[in-house]
């Protein structure tokens, strides 16, 4: 029988009886008996019961002609592009490149030496006018206004923040605020009237006091934990949606249970508008993994060992921070349409427009201040650079030669485009994440648990 395996099959032997199989292109996820899967590996298709073989073919694991898979790939990509083009654009204000903290893993240290570090009224007005003009090229509406930095909530910037919030209120846009949180209490008077419009107020807390204060401290060396904790109390008491981000790496991951105990002691989890999730510290400027950066599968192994000791944490945090697991988790958890992700992130579809003090527009928050990666200017005049837009938007797994032979390309998207630009000085080299290694560890340590859910 002339059958060929899909180019996008992943499998892992869970135990002596079952294997987990997934086709990352079609989204098929199944558990199959090992002896049946072994027959497919050895291409003994005639020995497989017809109904089983028919199911495997229907779900995209095997093809009589691999051109069928190419056609499916093309149609899925075409549909994805259509949806991506109508996604709402998010407008981001970065009122200042300055920051009042000196975090140990900060990727923006060089912004402190920028010649223009703060917006003034003239630059802010130009940003607002440009946003109104740009939005007309799309739906005409402004869905989201975000504050980012540097640190947006510097006391001296309060008049600018008030003007941005007034603009967001007038457009009925959702508001997101990304801040270190140390000055949040000084802005409550202008945030509280808009608490129903604030979709997320994100503050980073990297652990209990002793851990956090080593990582996120003032230039003087003083820690920021106590002040941030008080401000979280204040935000929640004023019914402001508050999201705690925990940046994890090998130096603080073991302290997650202690942070969880602190959160419970503060009764923050009792608030309907409180959320806490971890995020992986990533170095996008280097392919080297030095401490505290470690390969994702090793971080995952550490995290699962913590979950085994503290099951409540697994219920709260889950595994979505690991990109190689997202596609599988979405399907396992019942997502109705877990389509492939043909791009790496929102920067590839120009979803973000970040307006910065230097008058430039960026599409990747990590690239701010690096003018050669900007897609245009809004001050002194609005000008979009088509070649720079294409540098981001034309980067996908079809334009990256090495991605064409990769079985995880449909859910990887070629890796971080900004990393490729920094490391290789171009955008046509992939920055590969360890998809197979991370999936293997997840299946090794959680495969039986998922199997029981499916079998029962």
Round to whole Å and give the CA distance between 205 and 245. Answer: 6
Overall number of domains in the chain: 1
Question: Is residue 320, in this structure, part of any structural domain at all?
Answer: no
Question: Is residue 388, in this structure, part of any structural domain at all?
Answer: no
Determine contact, residues 278/256, Cβ cutoff 8 Å.
yes
Q: What would the mean pLDDT of 266-279 be, rounded to a whole number?
A: 97
Round to whole Å and give the CA distance between 30 and 21. Answer: 5
150-164, 252-266, 402-416: segment of lowest average pLDDT:
402-416
Question: Is residue 70, in this structure, part of any structural domain at all?
Answer: yes
Residue 291 confidence (pLDDT):
44
Round to whole Å and give the CA distance between 62 and 92. Answer: 45
Round to whole Å and give the CA distance between 292 and 177. Answer: 27
Question: Is residue 298, in this structure, part of any structural domain at all?
Answer: no
Residue 274 confidence (pLDDT):
98
Question: Is residue 73, in this structure, part of any structural domain at all?
Answer: yes
The model's pLDDT over 126-175, given as tens digits with 9 standing for 90+, comes to 999 999 999 888 766 788 999 999 999 999 999 999 999 999 999 999 99
Question: Is residue 69, in this structure, part of any structural domain at all?
Answer: yes
Residue 40 confidence (pLDDT):
96
Question: Is residue 227, in this structure, part of any structural domain at all?
Answer: no
Alpha carbon of residue 411 to chain centroid: 13
Question: Is residue 384, in this structure, part of any structural domain at all?
Answer: no
Q: pTM for the whole thing?
A: 0.93
* Tokens read off for 352: 């973000």
What is the span of the domain harbouring residue 31?
A: 4-81
Q: Which long-range contacts (CB under 8 A, 24 or more apart) does 287-295 make?
A: 287/419, 287/423, 287/431, 291/250, 291/251, 292/105, 292/249, 292/250, 292/251, 292/252, 293/249, 293/250, 294/249, 294/250, 295/434, 295/437
């Amino acid at each position: 029988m002339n059958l060929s395996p899909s180019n996008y099959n992943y499998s892992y032997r869970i135990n002596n009886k079952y294997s987990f199989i997934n086709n990352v292109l079609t989204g098929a996820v199944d558990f199959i008996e090992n002896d049946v899967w072994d027959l497919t590996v050895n291409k003994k298709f005639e020995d497989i019961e017809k109904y089983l073989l028919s199911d495997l073919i229907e779900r995209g694991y095997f093809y009589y002609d691999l051109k069928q898979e190419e056609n499916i790939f093309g149609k899925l990509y075409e549909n994805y592009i259509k949806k991506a083009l109508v996604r709402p654009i998010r407008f981001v204000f970065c009122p200042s490149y300055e920051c009042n903290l000196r975090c140990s893993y900060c990727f923006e240290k060089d912004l402190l030496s920028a010649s223009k570090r703060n917006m003034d009224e003239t630059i802010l007005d130009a940003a607002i006018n440009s946003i109104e003009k740009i939005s007309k090229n799309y739906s005409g509406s402004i869905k989201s206004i975000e504050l980012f930095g540097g640190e947006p909530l510097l006391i001296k910037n309060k008049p600018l923040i008030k003007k941005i919030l007034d603009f967001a209120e007038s457009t009925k846009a959702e508001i997101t605020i990304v801040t270190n949180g140390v000055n949040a209490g000084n802005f409550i008077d202008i945030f509280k009237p808009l608490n129903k419009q604030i979709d997320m107020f994100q503050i980073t807390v990297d652990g209990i006091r002793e851990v956090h204060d080593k990582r996120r401290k003032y230039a003087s060396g003083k820690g920021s934990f106590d002040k941030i904790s008080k401000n979280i109390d204040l935000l929640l008491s004023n019914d402001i949606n508050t999201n705690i981000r925990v940046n994890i790496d090998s130096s603080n991951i073991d302290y997650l249970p202690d942070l969880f105990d602190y959160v419970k002691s503060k009764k923050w989890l009792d608030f309907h508008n409180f959320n806490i999730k971890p995020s992986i510290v990533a170095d996008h400027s280097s392919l080297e993994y030095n401490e505290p950066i470690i390969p994702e599968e090793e971080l995952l192994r550490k995290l699962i060992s913590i979950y085994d000791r503290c099951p409540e944490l697994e219920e709260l945090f889950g595994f979505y921070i690991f990109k190689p697991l997202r596609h599988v988790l979405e399907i396992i958890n019942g997502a109705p349409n877990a389509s492939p992700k043909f791009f790496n992130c929102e920067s590839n579809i120009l979803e973000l427009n970040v307006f910065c003090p230097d008058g430039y527009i960026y599409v990747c928050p990590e690239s701010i201040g690096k003018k050669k990666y900007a897609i245009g200017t809004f001050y002194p005049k609005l000008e979009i650079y088509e070649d720079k837009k294409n540098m981001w938007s034309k980067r996908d797994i079809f334009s990256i030669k090495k991605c064409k032979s990769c079985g995880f390309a449909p859910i990887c998207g070629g890796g971080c485009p900004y990393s490729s630009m920094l490391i290789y000085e171009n955008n046509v080299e992939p920055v590969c994440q360890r998809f197979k290694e991370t999936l293997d560890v997840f299946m090794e340590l959680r495969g039986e648990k998922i199997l029981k859910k499916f079998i029962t």
